[in-house]
Structure 1
Amino acid sequence: MDGLFAPVEGTWQPVSPRLATVRRILLVPLVAAVALIGVILVLLPLDTWVTVLGGALAIGGLAGMVWTWVWAGRNQRSWGYAENVDDLLVTSGVMFKRLVAIPYGRMQFVDVQAGPVARAFGIATVTLHTASPETAAQIPGLPADEATRLRNRLTDLGETRGAGL
């Protein structure tokens, strides 16, 4: 089954481990806020059902923090891309694995984005757009210099291979 997701040529290029850090910075505080609300509801002298609800929120929030921490690392390690002669392969997913092959000639434009936290960590997301939204793909967590190199290379390949479109 692993051969199903193997690149035709070369090896998978991983994304930066800083992607997991950025996702943890953005998601763990949100889940921690739920746990904190739960603790506050437990400590306040309120009705029994509110205290039970607070306990459930506190336990759920703590479990959510652990799950989010683990998820961010596993998700980051699942992303990869491979540049073949005729197409770009992008893979992702831990439980539900996905592989997208995008022919260079089908690319319409390449988009690079980075929010304030991603920029602070020096990473960006490269999104490849085609005429079909089903074959569009994104590669999050690329170091900024690699995102620039990939954008320029894909743009050049798209222009040379897409002349017949």
Structure 2
Amino acid sequence: MTNTPTPGEERTPTPGPTPAAPAPAAPPTESAAPAAPVVPAPVVPAPAAPTLTDATFDRVLEPRSPNRLPLGDGTWYQLARAYVWVRLISVCAMLVIVLVAAAVLAALTGASWLWIPGGVVAVILAITAAITPRQARSFGYQLRRDDLVFRRGILWQRMVAVPYGRMQLVDVTHGPLDRAFGIAQLKLVTAAASTGVEIPGLTQAAAETLRDTLIQVAETRRTGL
């Protein structure tokens, strides 16, 4: 039986089920690229920090005279032990050259007096070779707060202080014989030529470390930092 609406009566429509809203379209997905394998970085061993005391003499030998220049306080660094061998080889090679030259000239010219200057030079070189070990141990340098102090000599002693702020050039040189024994020379150049210092017979590692240290300290002193 159906309900028939009476005249003048409006029929209220029966609400039907609400249609579901369409689901939003999913964004297109890109195909994921395969992750690259993680390769660990190679471990680089830190270089051993060279010190200024490796393969050097243990202390500075002072002259016996009571009027010698005092060492004072602080740590004095020495030359490398190999410096003695380099000096002895150089002096002995020069001695052989002088003797051979004197012998050849005397034989070619027949002048036996040529042995006199050759003998004098040979004696001087022999004495130089004899005192080389003692002389090498008279060298020393000290790194103070504001300057580098260098001393050398047995009979003729010298001690000079080079302010860090006055350094203009730090030069490291080594010849073939020096390289064979692993040593080098470090030269400090300042505005005044008389205050320049040349430290021979340093190990190559010590010379490079000292060069870098002096350059850094000199730049700091000049900039006033």
Q: Structures share a fold, TM > 0.5?
A: yes
1:110 to 167, 170, 175: 170
2:90 to 20, 23, 26: 26
Task: Give the structure with the higher percent strand.
Answer: 1
Hey, what's the Cα distance between the residues in 2 that align with 1:26 and 1:128? 24
1:57 is displaced (CA, Å) by 5.3
- Equivalent residues in 2 for 1:45-56, closer than 5 Å: 50-51=111-112, 53-56=113-116
What percentage of residue pairs aligned between the two structures are identical? 35
- Equivalent residues in 2 for 1:128-147, closer than 5 Å: 128-147=188-207
1:6 to 47, 52, 71: 71
What residue number does 1:90 align with?
150
1:135 is displaced (CA, Å) by 1.2
Hey, what's the Cα distance between the residues in 2 that align with 1:129 and 1:61? 32
Higher-Rg structure is: 2
Are the equivalent residues in 2 in contact too, given 1:107–1:162 (CA < 8 A)? no
Q: What runs of 5+ residues in structure 1 fail to find an aligned partner? A: none
Q: What is the aligned length?
A: 158
Q: Which has the higher contact order (CA 8 A, sep 6+)?
A: 1
What residue number does 1:36 align with?
100
RMSD over aligned Cα atoms: 2.3
| CA 110–61 in structure 1, closer or farther in 2 if over 3 Å, else same | closer
1:35 is displaced (CA, Å) by 2.2
- Equivalent residues in 2 for 1:54-69, closer than 5 Å: 54-56=114-116, 59-60=119-120, 62-69=122-129
Hey, what's the Cα distance between the residues in 2 that align with 1:155 and 1:107? 8
Deviation digits for residues 107-129 of structure 1 (CA, Å, limit 9, x no counterpart): 12211111111111111111111
* Aligned-partner residue type, residue 20 of structure 1: V
Task: Give the structure with the higher percent helix.
Answer: 1
